[in-house]
Chains A and B, each alone.
Chain A
Amino acid sequence: MTTARITLTINGTATTLDVPVRMTLADALREKARLTGTHVACEHGVCGACTVLVDGLAVRSCLMLAVQADGAAVTTVEGLARDGALSPLQAAFRDHHALQCGFCTPGILTTMHALLTAEPDADEARIRDVLSGNLCRCTGYLPIVEAVLAARDAYRAPDGGPEAAR
């Protein structure tokens, strides 16, 4: 087959998409689901801009075929905010000036959301290690690290943190 009908959950909503089998998940999210928050830059797994969560794990959506996400639960950057309000991580990025042009930001937010959900006590060294998979060419990494450190409290909350709502 060269096209496929896939059913997946995107940001909590069951979605059916008809996709060419060679279409990446990144392109399907942008062009078929019209969720253009997922950014596409290098398209070969180097920059991290297209990172989304697939079944809770941060992955590069340019290195995955859309058809491979059939049956999966996908969270994009659009899925982080709730009821029109920034998530604690997003708010920390605003407060710490952790984005300038913003192109790399969706991939960094999704990566760090996945990290803090799994490891709410991640220390600065761990955050920097994981952040190495995302390239930022203008903001500089210092305010990004500061924002992620500041957001950790929200993920340690007794109710399970922001992920409890996912």
Chain B
Amino acid sequence: MKPPPFDYACPTSLAEAIDLIARHDGDAKPIAGGQSLMPMLAFRLAAPTLLVDLRRVPGLDGITVDDDGVMLGARVRWCDIEADARLAAACPLLAAAIPHVAHYQIRNRGTVGGSLAHADPAAELPAVALACAAEIVAQGPEGRRTIAADDFLVGPLTTALEPTELIVAVRFPPWPAGRHHGFAEFSRRKGDFAIVGVALFFDDADGAIAGATVVAFGIGDRPQRLAAAEEVLNGAAPSAELFARAAAAAADSVEPQTDIHADGDYRRALLATLLERTLAQSAGLASAS
């Protein structure tokens, strides 16, 4: 057996789950879909003394769509999001990102809470959460608190969660009518983690771009807002020339890492290309390929 030895508990209430985790001094790990944690265990990169299975904890698998936006329970799976027809209108950027998450079999088990807690710098949901200014609802022995995505995502595989806290939900703010959005990523094989990805949206203010929000992922320790691109976009009318300038400004503003998958210069060039294309598509212009 590949995973290291651990104890296992399958509590039937949130309070019981939090209590179990709290009593193990940070050596306990929650597991839901396990699509990030199981590989970590197989590689023995994680060696918890106790796994707390959340599958029987009630109240974690709901999707709520109302005037306050979209609330996803921590145990909502990618396939649940794909199957919920309301989300294409209620949070189109989220709906556009999910088909890029790993593979069919993984989308059948992987959960939003798991992806956020794992905080892979190349994962889709943390990038979308950052772009949308989503809030992560966490609960621990001290009670419940809400953490802005920007504060939650600390670094690679590192979040602001206390070891004794569980994610219970993530909340996306309301999506204004008429907002444009785009999502794209590049990987060598379908379903692999992105070498570079972009998630963006902007509003239309009488023909000019307003509220441009551009996030890149796969280029650093965590997804990041690209303020340089946003500054170029805001207040200007959409055009191929504008998008080329925004893409160039974005590329100039980042220092992507070099790793086994790609070097930093390649990632910078890829970011510019992806961003220019995605902006053009989101504005309804012909793709500047």
Contacts and interface: CB of A to CB of B under 8 A. Distances in A.
Interface residues of B, number: 33
Contacts of A133: 102-106, 191
A60 B38 CA distance: 11
Interface string B31-42: 100110011011
B38 A22 contact: no
Given A27-B1, A68-B55, A58 B104 contact: yes
B7 A51 contact: no
A134 to B, nearest CB: 8
B1 A23 contact: yes
A65 B42 CA distance: 11
Interface in A30-70: 43-45, 48, 51, 57-60, 62-65, 67-68
Interface string A61-93: 011110110000000000000000000000000
B5 interface: yes
A44 B105 contact: no
Contacts of B51: 21, 65
Contacts of B108: 57-59
B189 interface: yes
B3 A22 contact: yes
A48 B103 contact: yes
A64 B109 contact: yes
Given A45-B38, A57-B79, A68-B53, A22 B105 contact: no
Contacts of B10: 67
Nearest to B189: A132
Interface in B3-34: 3-10, 31, 34
B190 interface: yes
B43 interface: yes
B122 to A, nearest CB: 15
A44 B43 contact: yes
Contacts, number: 95
B61 to A, nearest CB: 14
Given A44-B38, A65-B34, A132-B189, A60 B6 contact: no
B2 interface: yes
Given A21-B8, A44-B43, A132-B191, A62 B38 contact: yes
Contacts of B5: 2, 22
Tell me which of A4, A48, A68 has the highest count of chain B C-beta atoms within 10 A of its own C-beta.
A68
A138 B76 CA distance: 36
Given A24-B1, A132-B103, A64 B8 contact: no
B109 A63 contact: yes
Interface in B50-83: 51, 53, 55, 79
Tell me which of A63, A115, A129, A133 has the highest count of chain B C-beta atoms within 10 A of its own C-beta.
A63
B6 A22 contact: yes
Interface of B: 1-10, 31, 34-35, 38-39, 41-43, 51, 53, 55, 79, 99, 102-106, 108-109, 189-191
Given A4-B8, A43-B42, A129-B99, 15 more contacts: A22-B41, A24-B2, A45-B35, A58-B105, A60-B106, A60-B109, A63-B34, A64-B38, A64-B109, A65-B8, A65-B34, A68-B53, A133-B102, A133-B103, A133-B191
A-B pairs with the 5 shortest C-beta distances?
A133-B103, A21-B8, A132-B190, A44-B39, A63-B38
